[in-house]
Amino acid sequence: MKSSVSAPRVVLLDIEGTTAPVSFVHQILFPYARGCLKDYLDEHADDAAVQKIVADVRKIAPDKSPAEQLISWIDEDAKVAPLKELQGLIWARGYQQGELTARLYPDVAPVLQKWSENGLTLAVYSSGSEAAQRLIYGHTEQGDLTPLFSHFFDLRVGGKKEADSYRAIVKEAGWQAADVLFLSDVTAELDAAAEAGLKVCQVVRPEDGTVAGTSHPVAASLPEAARHFALPGQEGA
C-alpha cells in the first residue's frame, strides 16, 4: 500500500531488528560486553566516565555490587542508561581493536545512501547510547556510514515507548512531526511515535521472527518501506 499523504522528509531509524539483525546485538555485542565488563571496570576505575556510571548504578541498586547489577541488566536486556553507557565504552574498545565489526541487513546501506543522495534527512533513535550508535554505523562491513546521519538520539530523550520522547526529538531537531517517518520492529514504539504525530512503519524481518502488528504499515525491508511512502530506494526489495 502507498501512503496518500505527502512523502516524509526525515527518516528516523531504530537499529536492532530494523537495520541490524537481533542476532548481531544479542549473540555478538551483548556477550562481548558481558565478558569484558568486570575487567573493564577494574582497569578504568579512575576514569571519570566510569566513576559516574558506577555511582549511577549504586543509586539505582544500592544493595548489589555495580558489576553484578550491570551483568544482571545485560542478562535481562534492561534498557537502563548506566548499562548502555558502559556497553558503549566497552564496544568502542572492541571496534578500535578490530574485535568487532557491525553487521547490517544487506538492503540497509544501499537504501540509506540513496535516501541521503535524494535529500532525505536521516537520524537514529535507539536504546543503545548515542556513542554506541555511532560505533555501529562507523564500523560496518560496508564502511563508515555515520556521515549519512544528521542526529543520533538515545534514552536521554526518554523511553522509546513514550510519545513524549518523539515529541522531544522533533522539538530538538527542529522538524515537523508529520514530516518524520519512524521505522522500528516494535509495535509499542510505533504506537508512541504515531501518537506524537510521526508517520510510522513496522519493519518485520523474517530472519528475526518479528511478529507483525495490525495497526501500522508493515515492510520486510527498507526498499519495501520506501514503496509504502513513495521514497527513493524502492528497488531490490
- Is the pLDDT assigned to residue 189 strictly greater than 50? yes
Residue 4 confidence class, pLDDT cut points 50, 70, 90? very low
Q: Quick one: 114 and 66 in the same domain? A: no
237 belongs to a structural domain = no
122 belongs to a structural domain = yes
Q: Which three cell numbers stand for residue 80?
A: 537502563
Q: Quick one: 210 and 113 in the same domain? A: yes
64 belongs to a structural domain = yes
For 214, residues 6+ apart whose C-beta sits below 8 A from its C-beta are none
For 138, residues 6+ apart whose C-beta sits below 8 A from its C-beta are 95, 144, 145, 146
List pLDDT tens digits, range 41-78. 999 999 999 999 999 999 999 999 999 999 999 999 99
Q: Quick one: 92 and 71 in the same domain? A: yes
Per-chain mean pLDDT for the chain? 94
Q: Quick one: 212 and 172 in the same domain? A: yes
Q: In 3D, which of 222, 224, 202, 199 has the Cα closest to residue 211?
A: 202
Q: Quick one: 166 and 201 in the same domain? A: yes
Q: Quick one: 88 and 155 in the same domain? A: no
Total tally of structural domains belonging to the chain: 2
Q: Which domain holds residue 85?
A: 25-96
Of 96, 121, 136, the residue at which a domain comes to its end is 96
Q: Quick one: 118 and 165 in the same domain? A: yes
Q: How far is CA 127 from the centre of its chain?
A: 6
Helices (H), the chain: 22-23, 30-43, 48-60, 66-76, 81-96, 108-117, 130-138, 163-173, 187-195, 222-228
Q: Quick one: 59 and 115 in the same domain? A: no
Q: Quick one: 106 and 56 in the same domain? A: no
List pLDDT tens digits, range 91-150. 999 999 999 999 999 999 999 999 999 999 999 999 988 988 999 999 999 999 999 999
pLDDT at res. 237: 46
